[in-house]
Homo-oligomer: A and B are copies of this chain.
Amino acid sequence: MRLQDIRITDAFWSSFTRLVRETVIPYQWEALNDRVPEAEPSHAIRNFRIAAGLEQGEFGGMVFQDSDVAKWLEAVGHSLAAHPDPELERIADGVIDLVVAAQHEDGYLNTYFTVKEPGRRWTNLTDCHELYCAGHMIEAAVAYYEATGKRKLLDAMCRFADHIDSVFGPENGKLRGYDGHQEIELALVKLYRVTGNERYLRLSRFFIEERGKKPNFFLQEFGRPGYERHWEGVKGKQPDLAYHQAHEPVREQDTAVGHAVRAVYMYTAMADLARELGDASLAEACRRLWRNVTRRQMYITGGIGSTHHGEAFTFDYDLPNDTVYAETCASIGLIFFANRMLRLEPKAEYADVMERALYNIVIGSMAADGKHYFYVNPLEVWPDACRRNPGKHHVKPVRQRWFGCACCPPNLARLIASLGGYIWTREEDALYAHLYIGNETAVSFGGRNVRVRMTSDLPWEGAASLSVETESPVRFRLALRLPAWMSGEACIRLNGDVVRGAPVRDGYLMIDREWRSGDTVDLSFPMEAEWMEAHPDVRADRGKVALVRGPLVYCFEEADNGPLIAALSVSPDAKPEVRMEDTPWGRIGLIRAEGWRDDPQPFGDELYRRARKAKRPVTLTAIPYYLWGNRGEGEMAVWIRSAD
């Protein structure tokens, strides 16, 4: 299904897609051009100008700064697919001219190595992100081509990929290496799909197969005369193979380790390859890793990465709420992974996780102004500690303007701009609805065009409906995800009549029929606010509960509940009450629940004293997690004490 065939019409999501289109993309364009006051300069466009010989100067920013331009271009491509915008397209064409001007004769493209370290191409794969940047530019090229039909960047990136293919591979004289940051692997699959050139699929497969084999490429690279680590903190240190998921062959990995973004980007490519190649053991590795990530190492918000040290996974059930990392990019990568697993085998659990990450981490990471972002998405915040306890310096209590390492905002932009691509997948004779986000989509079965219109009341009500338009009756299976969050049985009506006895497979209710214009399916999902508990081995959540309603996780903020959120408790028997209210962020479902606040006799100057029971009833107010941190600095918690 092509992105331009899907138009988001959802009441809830349109505000985000519009924000990305009207504010984020233009704002990030300013940022890439160092025109945002108060933000650290990006240098990214300027680097391309210098590499293209259009300007004199030094390379600026991170070694992977090129990727910000690529992600922005990809977001523009996605945006143009559904929303043509000649002025934006003109700017993008100019950027593409610039990118291609910075490309070398042989196809190579990387402004860092062109400007700062000429002659040292491919000498530090571990640290320097050359293939990572290549991957992002390939993704941009594919998106831009699909949206506009323009081949300039696509052709340039094919030349680059051909060049990479001439450098890397199993053949004698080629580098048997791979990048320190996975990304090229999934990009090459996209390039293969759009060009049909199997060379790219083979190259992606090579990178995946080679990774983690012995002798280890990173260790060999490290041992080469003249080799020096790029990053300050690791100078002279042997690469941490697990950080790069290169500690063992990927096919043998069963636990998510290392840098979370690298990991999920790799898993995404693995799922792509498993499908393209029909590779059963690679698919099985994907399932194992999926289970490990989502059933052992994922926050209830869909965040992943338990530590800021290496922005990494730690180990099963280690999910601290306050020192958490849960990088925005990692959840975006998890959504990619889920999306690819759905293409490999449609199972609702993939969509459940995808939805959780989207409705909580992804939209929560961006402010309503589209100009402030969370990089880290904590589940518990004490603003003083963020400032004054160095172990929490990475956690910010309010969204920040732009980052020196600005990976998250443009990643978010490209995801939201391509949101339509995550709602559906189709198989030969079936259309799968994974997300209930209002949209209109065009699809065809047996050569006959079908328009499907979906409306949705999510996330505030558990209701959605689909209607079909078609020139003539057309047979296909409509597979409707039954969300895991339902508090009871779903009620599905077809043209007003309750559907009974329809088969449910892997969490999808199947309606297999000859569809006619005007056919309507109404879905009603019981959606109550519910207290959730974590697996007992999650020490951090012992004795605590979290409030969830439908796809939304809720949180408790100081702005509503007063300071010292840690003093609040609830009984899981307390029935939370949902009420739609007008707020500064529009009409929002707030939740209130009866609970308690510790109410000790005032402490004097002492720090410890004999314990006394003392609590008073209070009404707690919870807001959707995605809205936290919008009222200045204050305490916040997702998990609160269960008084049972």
A177 to B395, CA, bound (A): 37
The yes or no answer to A608 lying at the interface (CB within 8 A) is: yes
Write out, one digit per residue, whether chain A residues 599-613 have a CB within 8 A of any chain B CB (1) or not (0): 010010111111111
B389 engages A306 (CB within 8 Å): yes
The yes or no answer to A315 lying at the interface (CB within 8 A) is: yes
Binds B, one of A147-155, A421-429, A533-541: A533-541
- A389 in contact with B536 given A543-B641, A607-B295 (CB within 8 Å): no
A318 engages B384 (CB within 8 Å): yes
Copies in the complex: 2
Complex interface residues of chain A between 524 and 562 (CB less than 8 A to chain B): 530-539, 542-543, 545-546
- A542 in contact with B530 given A323-B391, A391-B323 (CB within 8 Å): no
A235: nearest residue on chain B (CB-CB)?
A: B232
Q: What bracket does the count of chain A residues touching chain B fall in?
A: 35 or more
**Contacting residue for A318 out of B291, B306, B389, B571, CB 8 A:** B389
Chain B proximity of A388: nearest CB distance (Å): 4
A641: nearest residue on chain B (CB-CB)?
A: B543
B533 engages A600 (CB within 8 Å): yes
**Contacting residue for A608 out of B315, B389, B533, CB 8 A:** B533
The yes or no answer to A569 lying at the interface (CB within 8 A) is: yes
A382: nearest residue on chain B (CB-CB)?
A: B539
A499 to B643, CA, bound (A): 47
B531 engages A572 (CB within 8 Å): no
**Contacting residue for A572 out of B298, B534, B545, B612, CB 8 A:** B612
- A607 in contact with B315 given A309-B390, A533-B600 (CB within 8 Å): no
Task: For A385, list chain B residues within 8 Å (CB).
Answer: 314-315, 318, 539
The yes or no answer to A644 lying at the interface (CB within 8 A) is: yes
The yes or no answer to A252 lying at the interface (CB within 8 A) is: no
Complex interface residues of chain A between 386 and 406 (CB less than 8 A to chain B): 388-391
A543 engages B545 (CB within 8 Å): no
A561 to B322, CA, bound (A): 27
A611 to B576, CA, bound (A): 13
Q: Which of A294, A300, A537, A573 has the most CB of B within 10 A?
A: A537
Q: Please report A residues at the B interface, Cβ cutoff 8 Å.
A: 291, 294-296, 298, 300, 306-310, 312, 314-315, 318, 320, 322-323, 382, 384-385, 388-391, 530-539, 542-543, 545-546, 564, 566-567, 569, 571-573, 598, 600, 603, 605-613, 615, 641-644
